[in-house]
Amino acid sequence: MSKTVKDLIRSIVDFPHEGIVFRDVTTLFADAEGFRMAIGQLLAPYKGERIDKVIGLEARGFILGGAVAHQLSTGFVPIRKKGKLPGAVISEAYQLEYGEAVMEIHDDALTPGERVLIVDDLLATGGTAAAAITLCQRLRAEVMGCAFVIDLPELGGRKVLEGLGMEVHTLCE
């Protein structure tokens, strides 16, 4: 029997800190069939919907979001950690499972009314994705959905995003 997306994700204990089980998607990305399957499953709910831009969240969301954007024939927009984007930005601070960070988007990356899809590898507390949603909404884009390969349900991210009125699509827990 061929492998599932979940089978191809590796778990690394105590990374980046003791007590964290890090879900490593590099093994999924390295598998040609697995990567194709993950991209196909991520974009399936949005086929036939009008999506203008795919938003990828640093860092693994760039790999997934770029491939999804290519398949949906949309543009791609990165949301990056503080200080990485070269142009004028808007910023949002957020809490992580293991720390605190700031996300940024170029202030001219989206135009009002554009319909966007947010893509990342993993949903944990939902802090990163919630910051990304806020950034898109501050630019007056309409967030059509948030798609992740992995949901860590015990960290409550899905409830946080659904509480913001978002449609959340995940491939495995």
3-state SS string for the chain: CCCCCHHHCEEEECCCCCCCEEEECHHHHCCHHHHHHHHHHHHHHHCCCCCCEEEEECCHHHHHHHHHHHHHCCEEEEEEECCCCCCCEEEEEEEECCEEEEEEEECCCCCCCCEEEEEEEEECCCHHHHHHHHHHHHCCCEEEEEEEEEECHHHCHHHHHHHCCCCEEEEEC
What is the Cα–Cα distance from 159 to 166, expressed in whole angstroms? 10
Of residues 27-86, which lie at the interface with ligand ADE (CB under 6 A)? none
Question: Residue 20 Cβ, how far from ligand ADE at the closest point, in Å?
Answer: 6
Residue 92 binds to ligand PRP (criterion: CB under 6 A): no
- The nearer residue to ligand PRP, 44 or 96, going by C-beta atoms, is 96
Question: Residue 86 Cβ, how far from ligand PRP at the closest point, in Å?
Answer: 18
Of residues 30-49, which lie at the interface with ligand PRP (CB under 6 A)? none
Partner touching 127 among ligand ADE, ligand PRP, none, CB below 5 to 8 Å by kind: ligand PRP
Question: Residue 160 Cβ, how far from ligand ADE at the closest point, in Å?
Answer: 13
Residue 22 binds to ligand ADE (criterion: CB under 6 A): yes
Active site residue 140: no
Specify whether the CB–CB gap between 153 and 127 falls below 8 A. Answer: no
What is the Cα–Cα distance from 63 to 135, expressed in whole angstroms? 20
- The nearer residue to ligand PRP, 17 or 140, going by C-beta atoms, is 17
Site map (CB under 6 A) of ligand PRP, residues 122-141, x = contact: xxxxxxxx------------
Q: Which positions touch ligand PRP (CB under 6 A)?
A: 57-60, 96-97, 120-129, 157
The set of catalytic residues is 60, 97
Q: What is the contact surface with ligand ADE in residues (CB under 6 A)?
A: 20-23, 97, 122, 124
